[in-house]
Structure 1
Amino acid sequence: MDDPGSQASGQQAHPAFLAHHFQSTAQQFHAGKLGMWIFLVTEILLFGGLFCAYAVYRANHPEIFVYAHRYLDKTLGAVNTAVLILSSLTMAWGVHCAQRDQRRGLILCLGLTLLCASVFLGIKYVEYRHKWKEGLLWASRYRPVAEAGHGAGGQEPTGTVPEGPRNVGIFFSIYFLMTGLHAVHVLAGMGAITWVMARAARRHFGSHYFGPVDYVGLYWHLVDMIWIYLFPLLYLIH
Structure 2
Amino acid sequence: MRVRWAAATHPGRRRASNEDAFCARPDLGLFVVADGMGGHVAGEVASRLAVDTIEAVAERGDAAAPDDRNCTLAERRLQAGFERAARAIADQTMTNPRLRGMATTASAVLIAADATAIGHVGDSRIYLHRDGVLQQLTHDHSWVAEQVMMGLMSAAEARQHPWRNVVTRALSASDAPEVDLSPLQLLPGDRVLISSDGLHGVISEERIAVVLGAGEALERTCQQLIEDANGAGGPDNITTLILEIDVP
User: TM-score interval w.r.t. the shorter chain?
Assistant: under 0.3
Give the TM-score normalised by the residue count of structure 1.
Answer: 0.24
Give the TM-score normalised by the residue count of structure 2.
Answer: 0.24
Larger radius of gyration: 1
Higher helix share: 1
